[in-house]
Structure 1
Amino acid sequence: MQALLLEPRAWDWSFPSGPRLCPGVTNRGEAHLELNAFRRKHDCALVISGDSLEVCLKYYEYEFMELACQCPAVVCCRCAPTQKAQIVRLLQERTGRLTCAVGDGGNDVSMIQESDCGVGVEGKEGKQASLAADFSITQFRHLGRLLMVHGRNSYKRSAALSQFVIHRSLCISTMQAVFSSVFYFASVPLYQGFLIIGYSTVYTMFPVFSLVLDKDVESEVAMLYPELYKDLLKGRPLSYKTFLIWVLISIYQGSTIMYGALLLFESEFVHIVAISFTSLILTELLMVALTIQTWHWLMTVAELLSLACYIASLVFLHEFIDVYFIATLSFLWKVSVITLVSCLPLYVLKYLRRRFSPPSYSKLTS
């Protein structure tokens, strides 16, 4: 967002042309002259009072917002609470961007509630702003860490988690579709009972949700290089492109596991279930490891715990899986081959991408 909304006590701008103070305007003619004069300025901060702002927004709302969005900074001083909320609303409508409002008093509540993200500062003016805000901080200097570290990590983690949940569900759906198409579209489920429930909960839940602990750079690096935040403004971690990539990965892996199980099974249908389901669990665990940028000890525990739960539950799944078959060497090499074919190409592509087209943060961690 290119405009800064606050109520200054004193300011010291260091722009090349210096700050531009818009004198008090009382009618339409004066507002027209001042806006035309400001249009000829470059690299100037706009400082305007509440009375002048009301006149400009009344007669030249579009022109004023166009000029304000082109400024390095805009300071609106001595504004009424309704004016603060109006400015936030106009910024949302004119720019289509998300807005963040920061306030420390009761007169900032309307502005905070109007914005997409409100931050309240607990200060001498009470806690009205912090109670009405989405986030509350005790000092204004904490705002940088809230945005650059916690905000950035939260966005990237949410993007990775949501797309991986889609991948997990689409992968098993692709396997069911392939299985039904091979057997003349018969309405026979591939997995039944506890298998389908355990896949979504016990076997893959902990590693998937451990992605909320992932981070690409350390907090100190994120604070030192705020340029890393620009990637979020472009929407690259969560976009149509990344969604389609995960869809293609899901279709590829689901098809590979199912066709591989159908190709390598020997005689009984229960062997297809054993081979494909075990390969599916191992593929999901390896895909979580592929997605992680920085390992946390809880991630390792989640991976090992999920694998241990699946191995331990095989004793009770004799109704769906042949326990004697999974103890044979034939089962082990078939599962290993299918899992390798489904995951190895993705690991190779990730290595090549980081080698020839590394992301911006990798240059700071190498």
Structure 2
Amino acid sequence: MKQFVISSETDAIREVEDRGDQVEIARFIKDEVKRELKKCLEEAQSYFHTVSGPKLALVIDGKCLMYALDPSLRVMLLNLSLNCHAVVCCRVSPLQKAQVTSMVKKGAKKITLSIGDGANDVSMIQAAHVGVGISGMEGMQAVMASDFAIAQFRYLEDLLLVHGRWSYLRICKVVIYFFYKNLTFTLTQFWFTFQTGFSGQRFYDDWFQSLYNVIFTALPVIIVGLFDK
């Protein structure tokens, strides 16, 4: 696997940091991050056009990520990330986790899932479309802020591929059934108006309309709920 590493632990950056000028440090690191992003993106795109190119991975630390998330560099970071099979952001703050998630969510128009087990993952979990919290030694903050909670990370596969699939099928059945019964209820009244010459006469009594969803069409839903997995 080909790795693109963008790190602030380089000799050039250390030399500038030793001078102590914060403005110069910020300007220099931003220029270095921009140069590295541009170089990595060009190399990644060249691999993309090859048939047997290697898998790509991006590794970036928190200090460089702070400058890469700048509006002037964010598009370049997003394009590079989308060309990689894996992206690793190390030593990042909770705010940066949420910013990366929002960048992919809004910039790439993708469905995002965030998973975490501590209080520092709460903002990232809330920023994603689907948040999964792991209950563990670091408290229950992530679980309380998530959409789904699991006990261990290995249960994520079952949550997505088993329970997620079942939930999708259940929702499809319910939506189709409700469309069917509501169309049945309204179309009979629609055709009845032609028989009555649009006189405004009602086809259903008041008690029938009140009990239609409560009793008359509730049995299929109850049966599906009882015999479902």
**Is the pair's TM-score, using the shorter chain for normalization, greater than 0.5?**
yes
The whole-number CA distance in structure 2 between the counterparts of 1:33 and 1:197 is 68
User: What is the deviation of 1:51?
Assistant: 0.6
Partner of 1:311: none
Q: Normalised by the size of structure 1, how large is the TM-score? A: 0.51
The whole-number CA distance in structure 1 between the counterparts of 2:136 and 2:90 is 19
Are 1:147 and 2:166 counterparts?
no
1:154-303 matches, within 5 Å, as: 154-211=167-224, 296=227
Partner of 1:23: 7
Are 1:136 and 2:177 counterparts?
no
The whole-number CA distance in structure 2 between the counterparts of 1:52 and 1:199 is 61
Are 1:33 and 2:38 counterparts?
no
Q: What are the Cα deviations for residues 28-80 of structure 1, in whole angstroms up to 9, with x where unaligned?
A: 32122211221213431111111111111124111111211222111111100
CA RMSD of aligned residues (A): 2.1
Are 1:92 and 2:76 counterparts?
no
Q: What are the Cα deviations for residues 213-251 of structure 1, in whole angstroms up to 9, with x where unaligned?
A: 7xxxxxxxxxxxxxxxxxxxxxxxxxxxxxxxxxxxxxx
The whole-number CA distance in structure 2 between the counterparts of 1:201 and 1:190 is 19
| Secondary structure in 2 matching 1:136 | strand
2:84 pairs, out of 67, 71, 77, with 71
The whole-number CA distance in structure 2 between the counterparts of 1:211 and 1:97 is 32
The whole-number CA distance in structure 1 between the counterparts of 2:132 and 2:210 is 41
The whole-number CA distance in structure 2 between the counterparts of 1:173 and 1:143 is 43
Q: Normalised by the size of structure 2, how large is the TM-score? A: 0.79
Structure (1 or 2) with the greater strand fraction: 2
The whole-number CA distance in structure 1 between the counterparts of 2:179 and 2:129 is 26
The whole-number CA distance in structure 2 between the counterparts of 1:210 and 1:73 is 44
Q: What are the Cα deviations for residues 134-158 of structure 1, in whole angstroms up to 9, with x where unaligned?
A: 2111100001111111112112211
Length, aligned pairs only? 200
User: What is the deviation of 1:97?
Assistant: 2.3
| Secondary structure in 2 matching 1:201 | helix
Partner of 2:114: 101
Alignment gaps of 5+ in structure 2: 14-27, 48-54
| Secondary structure in 2 matching 1:144 | helix
User: What is the deviation of 1:122?
Assistant: 1.5
Alignment gaps of 5+ in structure 1: 1-16, 214-295, 300-366
User: What is the deviation of 1:212?
Assistant: 5.1
The whole-number CA distance in structure 2 between the counterparts of 1:104 and 1:123 is 7
Q: What are the Cα deviations for residues 229-284 of structure 1, in whole angstroms up to 9, with x where unaligned?
A: xxxxxxxxxxxxxxxxxxxxxxxxxxxxxxxxxxxxxxxxxxxxxxxxxxxxxxxx
| Secondary structure in 2 matching 1:126 | coil
